[in-house]
Structure 1
C-alpha cells in the first residue's frame, strides 16, 4: 500500500513543475489560493494525478479537498480500497 507521504512527494514534484508554482510547496499548500490555479487548471491537474495513481476521484470528494495533503489523503484512501 502506498504511503500518504509518498503521494505528497509526487504531488509536490508535479506542482513545482508548474510555471506559477510558489517557492515553498508542501502538504499544507492550498491548491486554489497558493497555486493560483483556476477551476479548469485544477481539473486538468487532478486528471493527471488520477492517471498517475490509477484512481478516479469522485466529484463530491473533490469539493472537500483544499490542500495538497487533503488530495494525498484522498488518493491514498482510494488506492487502499
Structure 2
C-alpha cells in the first residue's frame, strides 16, 4: 500500500498532461484557481486517478476536494477501505 508521499508523487505525475499553465505543484495547489481547470478537465483527471488507483471517487467527495493534498488524502483513505 502506498503512503501519502507516494500517492502525491503519482497524482502529480497524473496532473502533468492537464497542467497547461505549467503550475508548480504542491499540496496546496488548487484545481480551480491555480490550475484553472474546467469541469470537463476535472472529469477526465478524476477518471485517470480512479484508473490509476483502482478506486471510485464519488461526486460528493469530488465536491469537497479543492487541492492536490486533499486529493492525496482522499485517495489514501479510499485505498485503506
TM-score over 0.5 for the pair = yes
Aligned to 2:69: 69
1:18 deviation in Å? Answer: 2.9
Count, aligned residues? 81
Higher helix share: 2
Residues in 1 aligned to 2:36 and 2:51: alpha-carbon distance in whole angstroms? 22
Flag structure 2 segments of 5+ consecutive residues without an equivalent. Answer: none
TM-score (norm 1): 0.90
Look up the match of 2:37: 37
Q: What stretches of structure 1 move > 6 A for 4+ residues in a row?
A: none
CA RMSD of aligned residues (A): 1.3
Residue pair 2:19, 2:35 contacting (<8 A) in 1 also: no
3-state SS, counterpart of residue 57 of structure 1: coil
**Unpaired runs of 5+ in structure 1?**
none
Q: What TM-score, normalized by structure 2, do the two folds share? A: 0.90
2:46 alignment partner in structure 1: 46
